[in-house]
A and B are shown apart, each in its own frame.
Chain A
């Protein structure tokens, strides 16, 4: 009996998921309860349980398909799957990691272009003003998706009701916020 037999290293994408998030895809026994409860399942190209199964195989082709899937971008991180999973698999946490990796390797699904544009616009608004600046977010998102004229019709009404402000409201501790960005997102960029 050798002690080595008790240590198994998981290779491939599931190994990376385990290393970075602590989520063990091997715990999944494919009951499908995550998919059954997922409010976005009908929008996904791969159901959550199906995606977990693909990761379990360790097959490079299937792993590539996971990183290029639309599913990881559609996930709302509502955690319904996690709260009902009989094996307590933190799927949202895993999805977060897969999104990051997909971005880094420039494999993000073309269908997810708008979703990613929204994420980016949201973050840049936070980085600059320290809080959500609706008008800036809207303009940037429209610019990124080349749809400037879309929704212009509702702007006057929203402005008159005070739902939109022309100028951003800045917070006091903006330097603290930007140092968060420096230590996380911008660090990865460099």
Chain B
């Protein structure tokens, strides 16, 4: 016979302002099997929890219903209290009177009636609860880091330095990401590559890090602590073990005029190439789309010149399967190609360039060796205009958000221009200056006050060409919206940062959520900014939202701590709310008829085949069996089972059916 205790919480005034808690407790005390029913101001407080523990002992309760807030909030609290009171924690259920009742309804009898109904369902459910024990699963202490930009590099190094193994995969031929393309970094103007490349080398040499470049995630199975990842290593057409990185193939390759991705199309690279001189690993790849051999079947110059015979034309993509316990996604961001901005003439006028292209012009390793020269004729621009918010904060074009980093890099660009072109004039069109960061505002002020960069508050409406000059039509809103026209030699667009083109596909492979702009979603905007909603998968850097370098690095170190925390345990505890196939005595053994519909329905490949044999080894019956390590308790198999032989522990047919009947007042 059940002995149920009902505990109704006022939640201060959150519940009691609209629900008559006393009446709820009184009504519940009349239900069959309820031997104890009280209301209290704060059930989650220490005295409230003591109330529950005491009642379990005094009244010898077999089940507890706490009518309070959402189970997301306090179910662990109350289950722990019950456990301490001597009751199996899974004999405690919560009736959500706050989110499902008081917060969404006005004060009145109907609201109280609904609260009573909600409590009743849980009383009926808890009567049919079974004591359950947590499941322990082992942890694979290897982390997978996806993306080899500064965030991926930092998180890999941090995890590896904690003594755990790391597998780092990068889709490009070299790690380094966007940071390797930058000239100088704000607000200190130190050289980006100078501070980044030592870290890149450290990654390559670290004994705990396995680096796969030119590789992408193919698929992912499993769950926290026990993932299986398939990695596709794209064919480089080079034997990495034989290649010494001498670079002879890249200098002899006859196809030389391919726009370089690393230089944002401002320079050229051959078909067999290393993206940039400091690349890690320093091993070239053959770009099969542009290579003459793959197009026409003839050439093989690289093969002839290679002193170590490392060129392998028929190399195929390789799929590697690895077991990992945690994953950090650090895939970074993309840059909106400004061709959707016809009024600024990008693509039409060669001297209208993006901020990233300006980085390459200003970089000592860039196509002009750090001299600011315009792409059309190689002249040094005497007048330059920077347009901030090119795409960002533009609802009409689908990017209502602020890209956050543009204010700072535009100030940096204008500053670099003034430093490199003496006597040059630079103008920045801006709407607001968002320089919230350590030494950021001071940096912008320096650009204005010391480097005489002219800041005009207003947006540019159009850029067009007239007599070889780019005419920039803007407005100065601080002069009563006075139209301004500037004849410029070069225009730089601070183009919006967007999610990576492949972000959506990757999120689906990883089973993590993403927002409307395809940035990966964090578990909680304030308190869980690094975790995703999928256990064991963390995000770091600009793939979650546009971030600058210091923020990406801090987030990456944060993600590393989360991984190290997970790896500090030898086994993980999981709630036992998983599917089970019923078993009974011979000769039936189970009501399962072995149709295995559940096996095809299960998204986690958690259903196995169990063979029941007699003593002589003769097969009597084949039935389904759930692997408790893989089952996520989604319940799909339960819905598919024709003979009702599978149940989710804690949410059995019997429990849910009686909850519904209680709602229909069938008792």
Cross-chain pairs A/B with CB under 8 angstroms, 21 sampled: A30-B431, A31-B389, A31-B459, A31-B477, A32-B459, A32-B477, A33-B459, A33-B461, A35-B481, A36-B458, A36-B474, A37-B343, A41-B475, A41-B481, A42-B483, A47-B480, A47-B481, A50-B480, A84-B343, A86-B396, A86-B397
CB-defined contacts of B393 to chain A, threshold 8 Å: 29, 31, 86
A85 within 8 A of B: yes
Query: Which residues A69-94 have CB closer than 8 A to chain B?
Result: 80, 84-88
Contact among B431, B462, B482, B484 for A31, CB-based, below 8 A = B431
A121 within 8 A of B: no
Query: Which residues A27-83 have CB closer than 8 A to chain B?
Result: 29-38, 41-42, 47-50, 80
Q: How far is the CB of A29 from chain B (nearest CB, A)?
A: 7
Query: Which residues B354-396 have CB closer than 8 A to chain A?
Result: 389, 393-396
Of the listed residues A34, A36, A41, A87, the one surrounded by the most CB atoms of chain B closer than 10 A to its CB is: A36
Query: Which residues B633-661 have CB closer than 8 A to chain A?
Result: none
B473 within 8 A of A: yes
Contact among B395, B396, B475 for A36, CB-based, below 8 A = B475
Please, which residue of chain B has its CB at the minimum distance from the CB of A47?
A: B481
Query: Which residues B468-503 have CB closer than 8 A to chain A?
Result: 473-477, 480-484
Question: Is the pair B431, A29 in contact by a Cβ cutoff of 8 Å?
Answer: yes
CB-defined contacts of B353 to chain A, threshold 8 Å: none
Question: Is the pair B460, A36 in contact by a Cβ cutoff of 8 Å?
Answer: yes
CB-defined contacts of B474 to chain A, threshold 8 Å: 32, 36
CB-defined contacts of A42 to chain B, threshold 8 Å: 483
A30 and B477 alpha carbons, distance in the complex (Å): 7
Question: Is the pair A86, B394 in contact by a Cβ cutoff of 8 Å?
Answer: yes
A36 and B395 alpha carbons, distance in the complex (Å): 18
Number of residue pairs A-B, CB distance < 8 angstroms: 76
Question: Is the pair A36, B394 in contact by a Cβ cutoff of 8 Å?
Answer: no
Question: Is the pair B396, A85 in contact by a Cβ cutoff of 8 Å?
Answer: yes
Q: How far is the CB of B413 from chain A (nearest CB, A)?
A: 20
A88 and B393 alpha carbons, distance in the complex (Å): 12
Binding site of B, secondary structure by majority: helix, strand, loop or mixed? mixed
CB-defined contacts of A36 to chain B, threshold 8 Å: 458-462, 473-475, 483-484
Contact among A37, A50, A87, A88 for B473, CB-based, below 8 A = A37
Contact among B395, B475, B476 for A87, CB-based, below 8 A = B395
CB-defined contacts of A87 to chain B, threshold 8 Å: 395-396
CB-defined contacts of B477 to chain A, threshold 8 Å: 30-32, 35, 49-50
CB-defined contacts of B473 to chain A, threshold 8 Å: 36-37
CB-defined contacts of A88 to chain B, threshold 8 Å: 395-396
Question: Is the pair A86, B395 in contact by a Cβ cutoff of 8 Å?
Answer: yes
CB-defined contacts of B459 to chain A, threshold 8 Å: 31-33, 36, 86
Contact among A30, A34, A47, A85 for B482, CB-based, below 8 A = A47
Q: How far is the CB of A20 from chain B (nearest CB, A)?
A: 23
Question: Is the pair A50, B481 in contact by a Cβ cutoff of 8 Å?
Answer: yes
Q: How far is the CB of A41 from chain B (nearest CB, A)?
A: 5
Instruction: List 18 other contacts, CB 8 Å, given A29-B431, A31-B389, A86-B459.
Output: A31-B477, A32-B457, A32-B459, A32-B475, A35-B458, A35-B477, A35-B483, A36-B460, A36-B461, A36-B462, A42-B483, A47-B475, A47-B480, A47-B482, A48-B481, A84-B343, A84-B462, A86-B394
CB-defined contacts of B475 to chain A, threshold 8 Å: 32-33, 35-36, 41, 47, 49
Q: How far is the CB of B437 from chain A (nearest CB, A)?
A: 22
A119 and B73 alpha carbons, distance in the complex (Å): 66
> Given that A32-B475, A47-B475, A49-B477 are known contacts, is A84 also in contact with B461, CB under 8 Å in the complex?
yes
Contact among A33, A38, A50 for B460, CB-based, below 8 A = A33
Question: Is the pair A31, B458 in contact by a Cβ cutoff of 8 Å?
Answer: yes
Question: Is the pair B483, A41 in contact by a Cβ cutoff of 8 Å?
Answer: yes
Question: Is the pair A49, B481 in contact by a Cβ cutoff of 8 Å?
Answer: yes
Q: How far is the CB of B386 from chain A (nearest CB, A)?
A: 15
Please, which residue of chain A has its CB at the minimum distance from the CB of B391?
A: A86
Please, which residue of chain A has its CB at the minimum distance from the CB of B456?
A: A32
Please, which residue of chain A has its CB at the minimum distance from the CB of B392?
A: A86
CB-defined contacts of A29 to chain B, threshold 8 Å: 393, 431
Please, which residue of chain B has its CB at the minimum distance from the CB of A33?
A: B459
A84 and B460 alpha carbons, distance in the complex (Å): 10
CB-defined contacts of B460 to chain A, threshold 8 Å: 33, 36
CB-defined contacts of A31 to chain B, threshold 8 Å: 389, 393, 431, 458-459, 477
Q: How far is the CB of B517 from chain A (nearest CB, A)?
A: 16
Please, which residue of chain B has its CB at the minimum distance from the CB of A89?
A: B396
CB-defined contacts of B480 to chain A, threshold 8 Å: 47, 50
> Given that A42-B483, A88-B396 are known contacts, is A32 also in contact with B458, CB under 8 Å in the complex?
yes
A159 and B487 alpha carbons, distance in the complex (Å): 46
CB-defined contacts of B389 to chain A, threshold 8 Å: 31
Q: How far is the CB of A89 from chain B (nearest CB, A)?
A: 9
A80 and B397 alpha carbons, distance in the complex (Å): 16
**What 0/1 pattern do residues 161 to 196 of B give for CB contact below 8 A with A?**
000000000000000000000000000000000000
Q: How far is the CB of A27 from chain B (nearest CB, A)?
A: 8
Please, which residue of chain A has its CB at the minimum distance from the CB of B482?
A: A47
A122 and B574 alpha carbons, distance in the complex (Å): 80
**What 0/1 pattern do residues 430 to 458 of B give for CB contact below 8 A with A?**
01000000000000000000000000011
The 6 closest A-B pairs by CB, nearest first: A37-B461, A47-B481, A36-B461, A32-B475, A31-B459, A32-B458
Q: How far is the CB of A87 from chain B (nearest CB, A)?
A: 5
Q: How far is the CB of B336 from chain A (nearest CB, A)?
A: 14
CB-defined contacts of A38 to chain B, threshold 8 Å: 483
**What 0/1 pattern do residues 106 to 147 of A give for CB contact below 8 A with B?**
000000000000000000000000000000000000000000
A4 and B475 alpha carbons, distance in the complex (Å): 40
Please, which residue of chain B has its CB at the minimum distance from the CB of A51?
A: B481
Q: How far is the CB of B345 from chain A (nearest CB, A)?
A: 14
Q: How far is the CB of B268 from chain A (nearest CB, A)?
A: 36
A80 and B395 alpha carbons, distance in the complex (Å): 17
Question: Is the pair A32, B481 in contact by a Cβ cutoff of 8 Å?
Answer: yes
CB-defined contacts of B394 to chain A, threshold 8 Å: 86
A86 and B344 alpha carbons, distance in the complex (Å): 14
Of the listed residues A80, A84, A86, the one surrounded by the most CB atoms of chain B closer than 10 A to its CB is: A86
A31 and B461 alpha carbons, distance in the complex (Å): 10
A87 and B398 alpha carbons, distance in the complex (Å): 10
A41 and B343 alpha carbons, distance in the complex (Å): 18
CB-defined contacts of B481 to chain A, threshold 8 Å: 32, 35, 41, 47-50
CB-defined contacts of B462 to chain A, threshold 8 Å: 36-37, 84
CB-defined contacts of B457 to chain A, threshold 8 Å: 32
A87 and B393 alpha carbons, distance in the complex (Å): 9
CB-defined contacts of A41 to chain B, threshold 8 Å: 475, 481, 483
Of the listed residues A32, A38, A47, A50, the one surrounded by the most CB atoms of chain B closer than 10 A to its CB is: A32
CB-defined contacts of A47 to chain B, threshold 8 Å: 475, 480-483
A49 and B475 alpha carbons, distance in the complex (Å): 10
A48 and B476 alpha carbons, distance in the complex (Å): 13
A37 and B343 alpha carbons, distance in the complex (Å): 10
CB-defined contacts of A80 to chain B, threshold 8 Å: 461
A49 and B460 alpha carbons, distance in the complex (Å): 13
